Structure 1
Amino acid sequence: MSGTSSSRRLSEAQETAVAELIRVSPVADELGRRFAKAGHELHLVGGSVRDALLGRLGNDLDFATDAHPDQTLAVLKGWAEATWETGRDFGTIGAQRDGLRLEITTFRADVYDGVSRNPLVQYGSSLAEDLRRRDFTVNAMAVSLPDHVFTDAHGGLDDLAEQVLRTPGTPEQSFGDDPLRMLRAARFAAQLRFAVDPGVRAAMVAMAADLDRITAERIRDEFVKLICGADPVYGLRLLVDTGLADRFIPEISGLKLEIDEHAQHKDVYEHTLIVVANAVRLEGPDGPDFVLRFAALMHDIGKPATKAVTSDGRVSFHHHEVVGARMTKQRMKVMRFPKDVIAEVVELVALHLRFYGYGRGEWTDSAVRRYVTDAGPLLSRLHKLTRSDVTTRNRRKAAQLASDYDALEERIARIEAEEDLARVRPDLDGNAIMELLGVPPGPVVGRAWRHLKELRLDHGPLDRDDAEAELLRWARAEGIVTPE
């Protein structure tokens, strides 16, 4: 970037920041005056300053102060609409005022021993010390309150204009202190679409193994933020290229299958990244959708384990969706994801191939009902994942697949309108089953219920007489009731 262009970008960023800060200044300045009156400093810091300069300041504001938590609470008393102390062990007190969420943290001078997984929290004595310990220069700027003095000792404003991530000190020292910062570099690259400084990138490669010191939960949380960033593909490439992915999700690097001249097939790794990008585009205004994005990332991880070359030289990956679902579940458990999130992602991976074959005209209404019932509340995501999975460069084939899926969705809509597929239930409930068969609650009722549900899926709704006749026919065949 030329000097003139860079200067223009800096000027635009500063003008944007002023506009953003004016919006929150009534609260921020009032809080700054309260801290000053109590004899303390207060500074807007970190991501809040960065986001203000980028024109994207939200309603969550981060502050730094020389006041300790008890002193901060005393300043907030009678002014904040609510306060919370969940971050007190790290020197952070939370507060709410006029729709803004404020986090006020005592100056930090954390000490790392190079072995423990978390920093030993120590309070610092100055703003300069606090900013020096931060991860990247674009997060090491501050605006003092209420006088609005701007502090940028590490060139963060220049780096913001250049859209590059650098560390305030050497990257080796920064990453040695907290290896999670390497993963955070990839996360910010994905969120902000910023380049990573070559020196930072080299340190990520050299120190990737240090990530093993970090807890699974901290890695998971950073990774979720990366996946939900504006450009997750860029962040994922950075993780793979630096070797960081191998430390906690090696299945992604494992998608780089060797392609030999006798068994050509599409590059699974590149295909996967395209599927992720497609899924992001299909999210709609409610995104980002972590479950959809992560399912897109993991949908083909079963391919390396199932790769086979047939006698005619073609490559196959039979049942890779089944193997991939199992691998996805194992990896997500290791990363300590909640059970409900694991279940949703695993189900999408398991179902992502179900659609193929529909265009050959093999699906009955029963198959459509089962597709909808098996997907359940994930149906909308399954639609998006299946469409995202079409990455062929053959326009004719891509158009045919899109047309086939359009037809399937139209067919689902027609059957749903007729049968309420969202709540497929047997035509007789448990009480009716017990009354008709003369049996008490127990396993027989469950078996009968499942049989009636299978009939419902195969044939659609039955009227009461037909449902009762079918149940009695089943019960006689099972020896539950005596044949007439």
Structure 2
Amino acid sequence: MSEASASHAADRRELTAAQRNAVAELLRVSPVADELGRLFLAAGHELHLVGGSVRDALLGRLGEDLDFCTDAHPDQTLRIIRGWAESVWETGREFGTIGCQRDGLRLEITTFRAEAYDQVSRNPIVEYGTSLEEDLKRRDFTINAMAVSVPDHRFTDPHGGLADLAAKIIRTPGTPEQSFRDDPLRMLRAARFTAQLRFAVHPDVRDAMARMAADLDRITAERIRDEFTKLLCGADPITGLRLLVDAGLAERFLPELTGLKLTIDEHAQHKDVYEHTLTVVENAMSMEEDGCDFVLRMAALMHDVGKPATKAVGPDGRVSFHHHEVVGARLTKARMKAMRYPKDVTSQVVALVALHLRFYGYGRGEWTDSAVRRYVADAGDLLPRLHKLTRSDCTTRNRRKAAALAADYDALEERIARIAAEEDLARVRPDLDGNAIMELLGVPPGPVVGKAWQYLKELRLERGPLDRDEAEAELLRWAREQGIRD
């Protein structure tokens, strides 16, 4: 058998296996899907399982969210499903989508679309289509342009999506230029699918992304944020991140990542800080316990973004990046704000970036118990993530150095555990509360109480727990120095 024939036979076997997976997955949901299909058929309409649902069924990973398309308009769809669906929502009605739930499955039913885009924003000019083929042609990628009709289970694949699925290729139904011109967000979706599915982007698609990267500026920050979050939480975000940088897409919404390619690592252990950063992301992923930890991954991605602005070369030729964690935290906060991330998520990532260097120096024996308390107090609830980020940041190829750093951090964690057991470090608070402070100093609620509380907290961090008499004596001494008491 020739090499070409062998390759064709292997592809055919993969397609057959994919079809078997699809049948097994569709049988799982067919009682609901077929029942719904019969309702549409009785009303004189078509219904097709479509897009990502068919793709995921073929991959053997169909979830509880199913997408359908139909020739019925939204009002007609509502009439068909009322009384059958357990709940109905119309939030996507302006785009022709009606949602409902039945037997634990969430179903979205969208009228055939033949939409165009204004090519200024990504907002579609919604026009209802008249055929399944027309609807599939407008979709983003061939692997999302397949359909299974219900209830008869007829398979429709006009653009070779099944073959592309077997070959693990991301390709557009028409020309990529037209597809991305219609909706530039599709360029980011292509990168996202490389991360989620571990697929490769077709060379024509990659070339179009590089030429049209600036069109991403037409997309809202929120839509970009959502796609980027899915990419970073994918099974292989490194491939997706590389594609973003190589195609020039990252420069449009995350230029700090591209900027890392310009900064050579001071340890000369990596091609540049960019490569080091990708390794840190991989390391952080290996420490996750329950699926994607976006905060940890984002902190790993951003932890060194302050290096380009702080780069300096000393008399000995060595490169340094003093206080890059401070600059990096500021840049991270600004970038995540621009991408419209929630404040609580942003504050957690920023805190990790700011703290990621704090550990270095511990191995020299310079840390007192006070320093350990401050480390724990400053990290707060982020301490487990800070442990993981700090360990992930060790990417040296020097085995002896790597082992020494790991041993130092093991020792720090053991020391934290010991002090925590003795002093309840999870809740480092002053030894006197606000009421006790007001009673002892004879002051009403106000700024003085806050200053006294902060002083006692600093004292607690410095010296550990004090008994009641010691705490009161220290507070009175501080009050006299401040002129609050005689």
TM-score range, shorter chain: over 0.9
**Which residue in 2 is equivalent to 1:7?**
12
The equivalent residue for 1:73 is: 78
1:94-126, Cα deviation, whole Å (9 max, x unpaired): 111111111111111111132233111221111
Tell me if structure 2 keeps the 8 A contact 1:109–1:130.
Answer: yes
Report the counterpart of residue 365 of structure 2 in structure 1: 361
Q: What is aligned with 1:198?
A: 203
Contact 2:137 2:174 in 1 (8 A): yes
1:270 pairs with 2:275: yes
Alignment check: 8 A CA contact 1:272 1:300 kept: yes
Is the Cα–Cα contact under 8 Å of residues 263 and 307 in structure 2 kept in the other structure? no
Query: Aligned-pair distance for 1:258?
Result: 5.4
Q: Alpha-carbon deviation of 1:259?
A: 4.7
- Residue of structure 2 equivalent to 1:157: 162
Give 1:264 shift. 4.9
Which residue in the other structure is 2:479 paired with?
Answer: 475
1:104 matches 2:144: no
Q: Which runs of 5+ in 1 are unaligned?
A: none
Please tell me whether the aligned partners of residues 183 and 222 of structure 1 are also in contact (alpha carbons under 8 angstroms): yes
- Aligned runs of 1:273-312 on 2, under 5 Å? 273-284=278-289, 286-312=290-316
Distance 1:259 1:278, change over 3 A: closer
Q: Aligned-pair distance for 1:265? A: 6.5
CA distance in 2, matches of 1:345, 1:298: 8
Tell me if structure 2 keeps the 8 A contact 1:263–1:313: no
Aligned to 2:3: none
Question: Could you tell me which amino acid in structure 1 is paired with residue 348 of structure 2?
Answer: E
Q: Distance in 2 between matches of 1:199 and 1:237?
A: 17
Displacement after TM superposition at 1:164 (Å): 0.4
* Alignment-derived partner of residue 94 in structure 1: 99
Q: Using the alignment, how far apart are the partners of 1:476 and 1:301 within structure 2?
A: 46
How far apart are residue 263 of structure 1 and its match? 9.5
- TM-score normalised by the chain length of structure 1: 0.97
Unmatched tracts of structure 2, length 5 or more: 1-5
2:404 — aligned with what? 400
Task: Give SS of 1:254's match.
Answer: helix
Q: Which residue of 2 aligns with 1:59?
A: 64
Q: Deviations over 1:304-353 (max 9, x none)?
A: 11110101111100000000111111111111111111111111110110
Amino acid corresponding to residue 69 of structure 1 in structure 2: P
1:6-405 equivalent positions in 2, closer than 5 A: 6-257=11-262, 259=264, 264=268, 266=270, 267-284=272-289, 286-405=290-409
Instruction: Assess if the C-alpha contact under 8 Å between 1:259 and 1:265 holds in 2.
Output: no
The offset of 1:177, in angstroms, is 0.6
Deviations 1:42-88 (A, max 9, x none): 11111111011111111111111112222222222112121212222
> Which residue of structure 2 aligns with residue 447 of structure 1?
451
Superposed CA RMSD: 1.4
Q: What's the CA shift for 1:257?
A: 2.0
Quote the Cα distance in structure 2 between the aligned partners of 1:368 and 1:73.
62
Aligned residues of 2:438 and 2:444 also touching (Cα < 8 A): yes
For the residues of structure 2 that align with 1:258 and 1:443, how far apart are their CA atoms? 46
Corresponding residue SS for 1:24:
helix
Asked if the contact 2:264–2:273 (Cα under 8 Å) also holds between the matched residues in 1, the reply is: no
Moved more, 362-371 or 229-238: 362-371
Q: Is the 8 A contact 2:48 2:150 kept in 1?
A: yes
What is the aligned-residue identity percentage?
79
How far apart in 2 are the matches of 1:45 and 1:159? 16
Please say if 1:419 is aligned against 2:423: yes
Q: How far apart, in 2, do the equivalents of 1:466 and 1:4 lie?
A: 83
Question: Equivalent residue for 2:469?
Answer: 465
Cα distance in 2 between the residues matched to 1:96 and 1:461: 56
Superposed CA deviations along residues 283-316 of structure 1, whole A, max 9, x for unmatched, are 12x1211111111111001101111010111110
For 2:188, give the aligned amino acid: L
Letter of the 1:44 counterpart: L
Local SS of the residue matching 1:255: helix
* Count of residues paired in the alignment: 480
